[in-house]
Structure 1
Amino acid sequence: MWIVLLFLLIGWIRRALKRHLPDNATKYKTQKGVEIIGYIIVVLVTITYFTGSIKDFGLAIGLLTAGITITLQELILSIAGSFYIFFVKVYQPGDRIEINGIKGDVIDIDSIYTTMMEIGEWVSSDNYSGRIVKLSNAFVFKGPVYNYSQDFPFVWDEFNLPIRYGSDMELAKSIVISVAQKHLANYVQESIADWKEVVTKYYIEDAQVDPTLAITMTDNWIQFNLRYIVDYKKRRHTKHILNEEIGKLIQATNGKVILASATFEIVKIPTVQLHNEKNETKNAE
């Protein structure tokens, strides 16, 4: 009866908080906190009831722990993982993470599972696949957790642009740099303050957040490598915009800058001489 009353009280408190708290993030965190505290109280009430006295709590908790540790190892690890996630802030709802080989946006964290909206797999780039994945919280102890949005919500991206030999190199460089500065200036300005906080918080060297262009001479073409910083949710769209505008400006040069491709050019066909062995034999006779 006490447990039923506790669950009813927890439900009433969560509904009241949901009505009166201002924003969704505060509502979510507060409701999860109430849920965890409620579970702890239920466990304490249960142990006290079966032991008959609070003074036997230490012995009871020891025996209980020894009994369930073997049979419920994964469940205990998942619950411990939920506390670790909550207090250490490994990730939170809204973050984009990759854990146990699964990448997606976190949409819910409960006492056992982390729920994610999956991205990637058969869908190219960072688009949603449509699958909702439930992953045990125990995986935070079993491997790395890649967080795309915590502390620094930007990623570095790059793409290669093959330019044909004989093109106007200075014109090609000016096209790529001007387009990059035009479309990436906002990301650079927004990322500077966040990156300074990362450098202050962690033992890490300062990094270049402005777009950089590197040129490499290959056997087939001159390779332009543009490296830039971008919002982690807009990586695909930004790359599309850059490629589209750079392509249009290169076409507008009327052949001064030409994109290269993996084709073969035959410069000269060698002369082939055929000899008739029968006629050569008769002439020799």
Structure 2
Amino acid sequence: MIEELSNWFSTHISSDIISYLGWMFLIFLLIFGLRKLVKKRFSNNQLKYKSQKAIEIIGYFIIILITISFFSGSIEDFGLTIGLLTAGIAITLQEVILSIAGFFYIFLFKVYKPGDRIEINGIKGDVIDIDSVCTTMMEIGAWVTSDNYSGRIVKLSNAFVFKGPVYNYSRDFPFVWDEFNLPIRYGSDLELAKAIVIAVAQENLSDYVNNSILEWKNVVNKYYIEDAQVESTLAITMTDNWIQFNLRYIVDYKKRRHTKHGLNEEIGKRFLATNGKVILASATFEIVKIPAVHDNADQTTHAKG
């Protein structure tokens, strides 16, 4: 093997390497030029994105073919070249190979696409780009609450699709269930309180419910899953301090914060308009008076005195 390698280097070390580098430069220049041309010519963002990715993949494929052809030289050397390249690449570029495999896995099996909201490797955000090695996300959460952007752009290796679960908020069913609790003071008019909460939910969530019914039917037809109730539900629990109302509802995955704010604001206004019939509760504490303890020795002293 060493003899074959030395013979190969002695015959290819000069002009062929220069020729190979020239081809590589030309192909990279062509990829860059075509991507730039597509970016200028196409106005549709989705078509523009897919065309640029197609040019990139085809360019990489041509580079691989030229590299194999250059290093093999002839049919006799092809097996040796492939073996050496495979061994070297497998050892030194394990993570890169896994990332490239992840790239094809993401697109072939539609794990996620640009525009989807996902959570992967503990990071949640909107996918803004997928290249052959990395997935780029606009981060959500971190030091900000709810589903707001933090302002950080995160790059993750595509290899993570093989290393853990990928949570997709938007594929197949672009809705999520959300809920919040309302503490109602004991003595309030519970029937009036229930009527207010249900009315506000129906007025604000009817569009989400109607749109999600058809989407959920498609999910049931596609996957082995039971049917679910998409209409809003209200559950009541008796606690030590108050009667707890739990409102569970379905909402667009991008409008959780806005919807919850609107529901709380409207319910609060209508509770205030009941003139004390329905009152929101707060934590209460009952202070028990501790009886005084008299020391027998003190009593005896006082008696003697």
TM-score, length-normalised on structure 2? 0.86
Q: Distance in 1 between matches of 2:42 and 2:77?
A: 40
User: Residue 156 of structure 1 aligns to a residue in which SS?
Assistant: strand
Q: Which residue in 1 is equivalent to 2:26?
A: 5
**Post-superposition CA distance 1:192-248 (Å, at most 9, x none):** 111111111111111111100011111211110000001111101111111111011
1:31 aligns with 2:31: no
Distance change (3 Å), C-alpha of 1:179 and 1:133: same
Gap regions ≥5 residues in structure 2: 1-21
Partner Cα distance (2:293, 2:124) in 1: 63
Alignment check: 8 A CA contact 1:164 1:260 kept = yes
**Where do residues 18-167 of structure 1 align in structure 2 (5 Å cutoff)?**
18-53=39-74, 56-167=77-188
Which among 231, 251, 257 is matched to residue 272 of structure 2? 251
Tell me the secondary structure at the aligned position of residue 207 of structure 1.
coil
Say if 1:48 and 1:54, in contact at 8 Å, map to a contact too. no
Give the % identical residues: 74
Q: Structure 1, residues 226-272: CA drift from partner, whole Å, max 9, x if none?
A: 00001111101111111111011111111111111112245x85775
The 1-side partners of 2:72 and 2:58 are apart by 21
What is the distance in 1 between the residues matched to 2:242 and 2:65? 72
In the TM superposition, 1:201-280 aligns within 5 A as 201-265=222-286, 277=299
- Higher Rg of the two aligned structures: 2
Deviation at 1:94, TM superposition (A): 0.8
Please report how far the alpha carbon of residue 274 of structure 1 lies from its aligned counterpart in structure 2 after TM superposition. Answer: 6.3
Q: Helix, strand or coil: the match of 2:202?
A: helix
Q: TM-score, normalised by structure 1?
A: 0.92
Please give the alpha-carbon distance, in whole angstroms, between the structure 2 residues aligned to 1:173 and 1:43.
Answer: 67
1:38/1:225 CA distance change after superposition, 3 Å:
same
Q: C-alpha offsets along residues 101-134 of structure 1, whole Å, 9 cap, x if unaligned?
A: 1111111111111111111111111111111111
Looking at structure 1, the residues matched to 204 and 158 of structure 2 have their Cα atoms a distance apart, in angstroms, of 39
Where 2:128 maps in the other structure, the secondary structure is: strand
Alpha-carbon distance, 1:59 to partner: 4.5
**Letter in structure 2 aligned against 1:214:** A
CA distance in 1, matches of 2:105, 2:128: 18
**1:140 to 1:273, Cα distance in 2 relative to 1, 3 A:** closer
Give the C-alpha shift of residue 52 in structure 1: 1.0
Distance (whole Å) between structure 2 residues aligned to residue 127 and residue 230 of structure 1: 16
Q: 1:5 to 1:271 in 2, by over 3 A?
A: closer
Equivalent position amino acid for 1:26 in 2: L
Number of residues of Structure 1 aligned to a counterpart in Structure 2: 282
Code of the aligned partner of 1:95: D
Q: Do the aligned partners of 1:159 and 1:225 also contact (CA within 8 Å) in 2?
A: yes
> Alignment partner for residue 205 of structure 2, among 161, 179, 184?
184
Do the aligned residues in 2 keep the contact of 1:105 with 1:116 (CA within 8 Å)?
Answer: yes
| Whole-angstrom distance in 1 between the partners of 2:138 and 2:212 | 26
Letter matched to residue 77 of structure 1: L
